[in-house]
């Protein structure tokens, strides 16, 4: 094409004065690069039309996207829309999100620091049993009898830290597993209560035999607390956040963070959105050390954060364990290599097993964790999924990535030295609008 116009994408427009500046740089691009470049320009030129689209109750009330490279540079950052569907306060780069399972990667780093120090071991089941007798005593739920009473059997394999970090321990989540949800009735199990009693270790299979996403990281970091004698919050503040100069990420957000807290939303089957209460509320009301001491520090889902703070950790992983901005090392390069190594090579299709929506309020059904050609194996590192082969967005081989329940997504591409985070606060998980946006902005970063 000798001349091109800025394309129209439903829900997004770009002003003519900005479009005039863009056309020249579009003329030499391939068709695919052209589309992705246009998307990047559309996101970059933040204007009232974009904010209006992202504020639509039928789309996305607000989102934040930050991308970073291995040098610690924010190569792209953008906030759009409102902090909530029913507020006029704008979403900004200072907005704070409950990052839910994006916490798991942080907890994994804490565990691996102690592995480096010899205080924990990836494969010492005896040590796990001593530190967490609850895991030693855990039984396997086989099913239910004719009276709907749970049927149990004793496990033959003891749990290791590697099992816990790779989601092969047999633990699960009630909202992804109907049997776990059923065994908790009529009282119910609430993994977001702030009580360790609500993550009672109920096994679905022998440790090491299958993959199932669950509360393993919570129990892994219970080991951290017990071996160090510190709360997980104190340990992570001292050994991860302080060396990386992270100030706005916390299990117990101070008032300055709570003042910027993004609203939680619920999308209904017909597509409309309303604001709702946050799932993890107990830490938001814990204002004193004594109150905080009573709340379980959940390594599986407990952190609140600004995305631009979270990507400091991503940049550190991209830089092989040393912060590119503070020069502080939190992990050895070989430890980062291990975290990004496929822990379950004998389960190449684990992510193609559909995940049920046992609690539709919290999650949509998930037919596949990450769409890939069927002949390509899938991988899991220590706390996060790996796209073993290069991805359709442009990500390189063995890119680590994961997500948070209210539709947050992060990725760390060590091969190409780039990563980032897309953040929203919308339930249920696997929201089509946000997942489409995530794929689009990630693609745009690579093509741009």
Percent of the chain with pLDDT over 70: 87
Write the pLDDT tens digit of every residue in 214-261. Answer: 999 999 999 999 999 999 999 999 999 999 999 999 999 999 999 999
Q: Which of 83, 60, 10 is nearest to 273 (CA)?
A: 60
Contacting residues for 216 by C-beta, under 8 A, at least 6 apart: 163, 164, 165, 166, 167, 169, 171, 300
pLDDT of residue 103: 99
Q: Please give the order of strands across the beta sheet that includes 304-305.
A: 97-98, 304-305, 249-250
Helices 16-26, 31-44: crossing angle, 10 deg rounding: 150
- Report d(CA 443, CA 430) in Å as an integer: 18
Q: What is the pLDDT of residues 369-401, one digit of tens each?
A: 888 888 999 999 999 999 999 999 999 999 999
* pLDDT for residue 195: 87
Query: Mean pLDDT of all residues in the chain?
Result: 89
Nearest of 423, 416, 382 to residue 399 by alpha carbon: 416
Q: pLDDT under 50 in the chain at which residues?
A: 1-50, 52-53
Distance from first CA to last CA of the chain, Å, rounded? 19
A 10 A CB-CB count for 288 gives 8
Look at the domain 31-114+227-447 and name its fold.
Answer: Beta-lactamase (3.40.710)
The reported pLDDT for the residue numbered 47 is 38
Three-class SS of residue 224? helix
Q: Tell me, what DSSP letter sits at residue 240?
A: I
Give me the residues paired with residue 275 across strands: 265
- How many angstroms separate the CA atoms of 444 and 39, rounded? 6
pLDDT tens digits, residue range 65-75?
Answer: 999 999 999 99
Rounded to two decimals, the pTM is 0.89
User: Angle of helix 103-116 relative to helix 216-228, nearest 10 degrees?
Assistant: 40
């Amino acid at each position: 094409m000798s001349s091109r116009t800025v394309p129209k994408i439903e829900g997004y427009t770009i002003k003519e004065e900005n479009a005039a500046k863009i056309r020249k740089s579009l003329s030499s691009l391939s068709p695919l690069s052209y589309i992705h470049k246009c998307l990047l320009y559309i996101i970059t030129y933040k204007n009232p039309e974009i904010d209006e689209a992202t504020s639509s109750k039928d789309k996305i009330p607000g989102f934040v996207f930050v991308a970073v490279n291995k040098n610690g540079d924010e190569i792209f950052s953008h906030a759009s829309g409102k902090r909530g569907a029913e507020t006029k306060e704008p979403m900004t780069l200072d907005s704070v999100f409950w990052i839910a399972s994006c916490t798991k990667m942080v907890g994994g780093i804490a565990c691996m620091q102690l592995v480096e120090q010899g205080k924990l071991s990836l494969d010492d089941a005896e040590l796990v049993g001593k530190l967490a007798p609850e895991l030693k005593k855990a039984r396997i739920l086989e099913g239910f009898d004719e009276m709907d009473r749970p049927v149990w059997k004793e496990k033959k394999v003891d749990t290791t830290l590697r099992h816990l970090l790779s989601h092969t321990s047999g633990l699960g989540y009630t909202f992804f597993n109907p049997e776990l949800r059923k065994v908790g009735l009529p009282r119910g199990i609430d993994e977001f209560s702030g009580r360790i009693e609500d993550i009672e270790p109920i096994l679905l299979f022998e440790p090491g035999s299958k993959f199932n996403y669950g509360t393993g990281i919570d129990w892994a970091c219970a080991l951290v607390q017990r071996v160090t004698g510190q709360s997980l919050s104190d340990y992570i503040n001292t050994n991860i956040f302080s060396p990386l100069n992270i100030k706005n990420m916390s299990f117990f957000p101070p008032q300055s963070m709570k003042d910027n807290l993004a609203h939680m939303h619920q999308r209904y089957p017909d597509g409309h959105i309303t604001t709702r209460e946050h799932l993890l509320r107990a830490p938001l009301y814990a204002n004193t050390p004594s109150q905080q001491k009573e709340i379980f520090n959940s390594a599986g889902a407990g952190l609140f954060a600004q995305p631009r703070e979270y990507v400091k950790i991503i940049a550190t992983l991209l830089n092989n364990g040393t912060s590119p901005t503070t020069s502080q090392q939190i992990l050895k390069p070989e430890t980062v290599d291990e975290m990004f190594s496929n822990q379950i090579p004998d389960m190449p299709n684990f992510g193609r097993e559909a995940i049920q929506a046992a609690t539709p309020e919290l999650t949509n059904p998930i037919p596949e964790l990450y769409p890939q050609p069927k002949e390509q194996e899938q991988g899991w590192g220590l706390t996060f999924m790996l796209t073993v082969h290069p991805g359709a967005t442009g990500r390189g081989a063995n890119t680590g990535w994961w997500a948070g329940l209210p539709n947050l997504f992060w990725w760390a591409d060590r091969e190409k030295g780039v990563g980032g985070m897309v953040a929203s606060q919308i339930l249920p998980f696997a929201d089509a609008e946000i997942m489409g946006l995530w794929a689009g902005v990630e693609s745009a970063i690579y093509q741009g």
